[in-house]
């Protein structure tokens, strides 16, 4: 981070909300720009990875439940 770059102050909850909106594919441009300014890419990737794993595990459990005799 350089001296002219502002400090990023993002929270986990804000990162989770940004990733959730990204999964749905809908987001206001103003909110998107604010997220870019406040969230760190590492946090977004980490939360996105966890959300993808939870999504896949949820789908597997749903299929097992539906297919169970």
Give per-residue pLDDT as tens, 4-62: 555 566 788 888 888 888 888 887 888 888 888 888 889 999 999 999 999 999 999 99
Considering the entire predicted model, what is its pTM? 0.72
- At residue 50's C-alpha, the angle toward residues 48 and 51, to 5°, is 65
d(CA 69, CA 26): 38
- Give the start-to-end residue ranges of the domains of the chain: 12-67
| DSSP tag of 25 | T
Q: How many CB atoms lie within 10 A of CB 14?
A: 16
pLDDT at 53: 97
In the numeric block, which tokens belong to residue 29?
């441009």
């Amino acid at each position: 981070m350089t001296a002219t770059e502002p400090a990023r102050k993002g929270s986990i909850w804000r990162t989770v909300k940004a990733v959730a909106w990204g999964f749905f594919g809908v987001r206001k441009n103003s909110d998107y720009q604010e997220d870019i300014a406040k969230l760190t890419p590492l946090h977004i990737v980490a939360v996105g990875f966890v959300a993808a794993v939870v999504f896949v595990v949820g789908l597997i459990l749903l299929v097992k439940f539906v297919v169970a005799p």
